[in-house]
Amino acid sequence: MNQITSNSTEDHLSIIGDKTYVARLVKQSPRKSQSYQWQSEGTYLITGGLGALGLHTAKWMVEKGVRNIVFISRSSPDQTKQAAIANLEEQGTRVLVAQADVSHQEELRAVLEQIQLTMPPLKGIIHAAGVAEFEPLTQMGLSQMSTILQPKVKGGWLLHQLTKDIKIDFFICFSSIGALWGSVGQAHYAAANHFLDGLVHYRTSIGLPGLTINWGPWTGGGMADTEQLLELRKRGIKPLSPSQALVALEQLLDSSEIQTGLANVDWSIFKQLYEIGRVRLLLEEIEVKPGQTQLLNDSNQLATKAKQERILSQLKLANDEETEKILLAYLLEEIAQVLGIKIEKIELEQPLTMMGIDSLMAVELRNQVQKALGIEVPLSQFMEGLTVVALTKEIQKQLKETHPTIGVELKNNQQTLLTNVKNNDWIEVDL
């Protein structure tokens, strides 16, 4: 407990017995041991097989000579997925779609028994089942947490338990980079994937095959939608194409690796953002070449000069009370965009950090405010527990000092631009 509550800069600790270990992410190339020989007379099982990653992987396996594939999915295939399955079958592959919940023991047992009775011997398992959603930890209920944990945690454990006595060539878990360095609003998802990493390490410790891959986002479907991929790009994480991902998967399958992160990361951006606000040593071994670092203030081009001029012109016609309302409305919009939530879900008296704003998001928010209002707001104001209301007042105070002309026009002509007050007493403005 002393280790956890101390002021140490280490935020990734593993305590085993009387020893404490720290984590460091290091770049590496897979150490090739031998080329994996795909078995045309064997069966390969993919949980979550009807998801984008599962179907991409199955197509690749068929190209490698696999002729028997079992998909486990909770839902039946729609028309698009039926077409993808038909394409696999046209290439001479037998495809069984088992509609089952991998986290339900009897349903999973029934699928494995069906494979044993009607198909060639099981040779490999890819556990790609999973569900993702965003929810701040402080607002997360047990049902939400259970929904995310079930397929990966319970499903992964049941797969292990029910197949541990079957001689298979590989047991691959599709984990996530979120399990390596966290993901704001996805504590449950990061924990679920971290369990898979631990499961694989446990399997290998008792002599069973295991590989866990902490995937970054893929193009061509997957759990990250277009908007989320755009946000990740801003932070230096670019999606892998399916072909890139599967080339890397083949290299790992031919190696002796147990756990590897696979992501297309621009470390000059991501590391800089990840380490803002406090010392974080996880990426200490990741080197960024001199001159490679990009200026954070140029990382977001969405706040334009025109937007700045519009807001400042509105503020010039507002008294102190109206200025606060304009700034509050503006901040709510920016915070909602950064967090990817609706404005109505933001609690005005809740600290930003409790909403899920991390250092990466704080930088983005700071940059937006800086460009729109033309003021230098210390990053610490976004990271030190201020509420939206308190932050609004701080920005209003700084804005007054930086732009003394704000409110002057109102005093001169006694006019106000703001007349449309909604029921929640916020001002509707064109931002």
Question: What is the CATH number for 386?
Answer: 1.10.1200.10
Q: Does the structure show a pLDDT above 50 at 415? A: no
Residue 372: what are its φ and ψ, rounded to 5°?
A: -75, -35
pLDDT of 65 reads 96
Give pLDDT tens digits for 249-262.
999 999 999 999 99
Q: What is the mean pLDDT of residues 276-303?
A: 62
Report if residue 10 sits inside a domain: no
Positive or negative: CA dihedral 330, 333, 336, 338: negative
Give pLDDT tens digits for 13-33.
777 777 887 888 887 777 777
Report if residue 404 sits inside a domain: yes
Q: Does the structure show a pLDDT above 60 at 98? A: yes
pLDDT of 245 reads 96
Q: Are residues 164 and 39 in the same domain?
A: yes
pLDDT of 106 reads 98
Q: What is the mean pLDDT of residues 350-360?
A: 79
Q: Are residues 346 and 397 in the same domain?
A: yes
Q: Are residues 336 and 392 in the same domain?
A: yes
Give the lowest-confidence range in 138-152, 371-385, 412-426: 412-426
Q: What is the mean pLDDT of residues 3-18?
A: 69
Q: Are residues 193 and 328 in the same domain?
A: no
d(CA 365, CA 346) in angstroms, rounded, equals 15
State the CATH number of the domain containing residue 155: 3.40.50.720
Give pLDDT tens digits for 23-77.
888 877 777 778 899 999 999 999 999 999 999 999 999 999 999 999 999 999 9
**Better-scored residue on pLDDT, 416 or 98:** 98
Q: Are residues 248 and 323 in the same domain?
A: no
Find out whether 106 and 57 touch, Cβ atoms under 8 Å: no
Q: Does the structure show a pLDDT above 90 at 299? A: no
Report if residue 268 sits inside a domain: no
Give the lowest-confidence range in 104-118, 185-199, 294-308, 331-345: 294-308
Q: Does the structure show a pLDDT above 80 at 309? A: no
Q: Does the structure show a pLDDT above 70 at 221? A: yes
State the CB neighbour count (10 A cutoff) for residue 318. Answer: 22
Give pLDDT tens digits for 113-164.
999 999 999 999 999 999 888 788 888 889 889 999 999 999 999 999 999 9
Q: What is the mean pLDDT of residues 350-376?
A: 81
Q: What is the mean pLDDT of residues 371-386?
A: 79
Q: Are residues 107 and 181 in the same domain?
A: yes
Which residue segment(s) compose the domain that 365 sits in?
Answer: 305-413
Cβ-proximal residues to 153 (8 Å cutoff; 6+ apart), any chain = 192, 195, 196
Give percent helix, percent strand, percent coil of the chain, each to the nearest 5. Answer: 45, 15, 40
The model's pTM is: 0.72
Give pLDDT tens digits for 391-414.
999 888 888 887 666 554 444 433
Q: Are residues 103 and 182 in the same domain?
A: yes
Helix (H) or strand (E) holding 151: none
Find out whether 73 and 103 touch, Cβ atoms under 8 Å: no
Q: Are residues 89 and 238 in the same domain?
A: yes
Q: What is the mean pLDDT of residues 276-304?
A: 61
Report if residue 13 sits inside a domain: no
Q: Are residues 386 and 238 in the same domain?
A: no
Q: Are residues 174 and 66 in the same domain?
A: yes
Find out whether 88 and 138 touch, Cβ atoms under 8 Å: no
- What is the pLDDT confidence band of residue 333, given thresholds at 50, 70 and 90? confident
Report if residue 267 sits inside a domain: no
Pick from 227, 262, 297: which residue ends a domain? 262
Domains in the chain, number:
2
Amino acid at 62: V
Q: Does the structure show a pLDDT above 80 at 304? A: no
Report if residue 167 sits inside a domain: yes
Report helix, strand or coil for 186. Answer: coil
Q: Are residues 166 and 235 in the same domain?
A: yes
pLDDT of 431 reads 33
d(CA 251, CA 36) in angstroms, rounded, equals 9
Report if residue 423 sits inside a domain: no
**Better-scored residue on pLDDT, 290 or 172:** 172
Q: Does the structure show a pLDDT above 80 at 418? A: no
pLDDT of 410 reads 41
Q: Where are the beta strands (DSSP E) in 245-330?
A: 259-262, 264-265
Q: Does the structure show a pLDDT above 60 at 183? A: yes
d(CA 256, CA 36) in angstroms, rounded, equals 11
d(CA 110, CA 205) in angstroms, rounded, equals 28
Q: What is the mean pLDDT of residues 178-182?
A: 90
Report if residue 422 sits inside a domain: no
